[in-house]
Amino acid sequence: MLSKIERGESSPTATVLVKIASAFGLTLAKLLAEPPQAPSRLLHATGQPTWTDPATGYLRRQIYLSADVPVELVEVRLPAAAVVGMPASSYVLTRHIVWVLEGHLVINEGGYRNELGPGDRLEFGPPVDMEYRNETEVACRYLVTVLRC
């Protein structure tokens, strides 16, 4: 799969990218990050890297990532009726908190269903397979805070 991605023969999904990142001991943000540049305290929205999952339309915007601070902030827009699965390996050595900004989100955490609406937040427990579901007819927008342990 890596060869196909490198040759431009395949566009990886969010799930595939998370598995690749986990194999290298990276978070998804670190895998997608551009080479380090001179640090800046201000990063306008236009300079924040985005990535779209070709399978679901899941849009990911990296708000904050630093080599010096073990915190990452990611904004996600999950389209209506979209489902994105993430393996437990993507949560090893990290802690995650999801805060819903707009819409409704269902997070299946190892078989346990969590229903979140605007303003709700969920702190993840021990690493398990996860599934993010938007069961509505409108997009859902949420913030993910990742603490690298």
The domain ranges of the chain are 2-34+49-148
Lowest mean pLDDT among 34-48, 88-102, 105-119, 133-147: 34-48
Whether the CB-CB separation of 62 and 144 falls below 8 Å is answered with no
Q: For residue range 28-38, what is the model confidence (pLDDT) as tens digits?
A: 767 766 555 66
Any idea which fold 2-34+49-148 has? Jelly Rolls (2.60.120)
pTM: 0.78
